[in-house]
Every structure is written in structure tokens, then in C-alpha cells.
Copies of this chain bind each other. A is one copy, B any other.
Amino acid sequence: MIDVCLLGTGGTMPLAERALTALSLRYNGSTFLVDCGEGTQIQLRRGNISMHDIDVILITHFHADHVTGLQGLLLSMAKADRLQPVKIIAPKGAKRIISALCITAPQMPFDVQIIELEQESENFVINGLSITSQLVEHSVICYAYSFALSRKGKFDPESAKKTGADVRQWKNLQMGESVRVGDKIITPDMVMGADRKGLKVTYCTDTRPTDAITELARNSDLLICEGMYADTSKSKMAKEKKHMMFHEATEIAKKSGSKRLWLTHFSPSLPDPYQYSEYAKSLFSETLVPHDLEKTTLNFED
């Protein structure tokens, strides 16, 4: 299962009652954080998410509202007795920019391993979660990310018995290891059903809609997507500033076959995004206009 917490829902600047957009994903004891604006560490505290367990920080792009909380967060992780290395995945230039942002931070008690994205799309498997980055279309280099968890097929005891494998060897086969029975090699595919549906979360903010985003989001269980403005009178501004409208986000959700959509990164000029909830649902029924700290747990089917 994957625990999802949308730490904030604001864009551009933090408001008195709306924190900046950032995402926490928890899987298998690891926390993956996407973006870290001013106040993200406060939202982690409010959401009761331990800073100690953050193994990976992904940055979409280097605008202040997505990155200036990094120094404070790393210091708080140090105070939470973190000693294991932390990976930061971020656009090219990250080493220089993060080192500047952290100018007043002393040496951390853990390694900070910065991975700079260079390709249009890259894939990483970290602590069992498969992460894909996708270049999007903003005023600066910016990436969307998807997080996918695959799920093996069901183990079939009848097939296992037929192979002659000993019951003590079943676990190896379930773990994906081949075993030897006499002079025969028994491979996992001989006893496991076809791969089952896994879990997928896609996170996309600060961009115009693109086909590549739809592909990245393909069949997501949850798509978290920027909806900077709701009213279509703001469409021109969204285009100019390279942001997305509510209706553009719902369109991506539909085209990608995503199950659910959470809108986020609301403009400060949108004081009450919730008045557009029904409008958003009329475009794509499984849309939520979430509040800060919206949580959900994604579980495998059946």
C-alpha cells in the first residue's frame, strides 16, 4: 500500500490558511517527498509525517515556491537524528542551486546525494518504488513524476506441486528465484500467474498540458495535477504563465484513464477553489478539490 498526503494546495506563495503544494508518499517504511517550498516542513509536522524517514526528495523545478524550504527541512531531518543518506532528484543545476540555498546550513550528519535529471524522461527504482520523471512545459525546466508499484501474479500451489518442487522451495519461487528439482530448473513463471494490477500515483504541477503528461499519467490510481485557475476567463493568463486550468487537468485525467484526480497549486487569486468542486466533477466525476493535508491510502485490488 502507498500512503499519500498532499501537504499543501497553494501555488506561488504561502497564504495564511493555504500551504504551498508538496506531496508525501509513504511506501514500505520510506517517505518520498515531492517539492519543498517555504513551510513544507511545518505541513509534515501537521500531517504527523516523520522527517526521519524521508529517503528521497524530488524537486519539480527551481521556482521559490517549490524549493526554498529545503535548507530548513534538511536541518530538521538532522535534528530528527537522520544518519542515512538522502537522495535528491531534481533538474539540471541542482547541485549549484541547492548548495546556494543551503549556504547557512552546517555540514549535515548524513550524505545528500543529488541526482540531476538530464533526459526528457528517466526511470529510477528506489526502495521498491519505480519513479519516472517527465519533462513538462513551464517557463523553466520542470518535471512531472509518476510512482508505480508493480504486483506479481498469484502463486498457484497446484502448478507448484506439479513441478515437484518441495514446499520449502515455494517461497523462493514466490520471491522470483528459480529452484532446482533433481536435474530440472523450475522458474517462477511456471508457478506464478500473470502480473496483477499494481498501484500508480502521478504528480504534475507548473506546466501547460502535453501529450507526454497524459502518457506519464496513463492508468494512474491517483493523478495529482495542477489546477492554477478555475474560471475560463483566466485561460489566457494560464497560457502566458505556463500553468494549467481546472478543465485542462480534468482532460488529462480522462485521456490518461486515471481513476481519481486531485487538483492543486491554486492561485492566490483563487480564494475559494471549493466553489468550483461541482464544476470540476461535472468535467470528470472522480475529481476532488482537496484541502491541505488531504490523505488517502492506495491498496492493491481484492
Spell out A's residues near B (CB within 8 Å): 12-16, 37-39, 41-42, 45-46, 62-65, 67-69, 71-72, 75-76, 79, 97, 100-101, 103-105, 268
Contact = CB atoms under 8 A, between A and B. Distances in A.
Given A16-B42, A68-B72, 14 more contacts: A12-B79, A13-B41, A13-B75, A13-B76, A13-B79, A37-B72, A38-B38, A38-B39, A38-B42, A38-B68, A39-B39, A62-B104, A63-B104, A100-B100
A46 B19 CA distance: 13
Contact of A68 (B45, B46, B104, B268): B104
24 contacts: A12-B79, A13-B75, A14-B41, A16-B45, A38-B38, A38-B39, A38-B41, A38-B68, A38-B69, A38-B72, A39-B42, A63-B104, A64-B71, A64-B72, A64-B104, A65-B72, A67-B104, A68-B71, A68-B72, A97-B103, A100-B101, A101-B101, A101-B103, A101-B104
A103 B100 contact: yes
A62 B46 CA distance: 26
Contacts of A97: 103-104
A76 B38 CA distance: 12
Contacts of A75: 13, 64
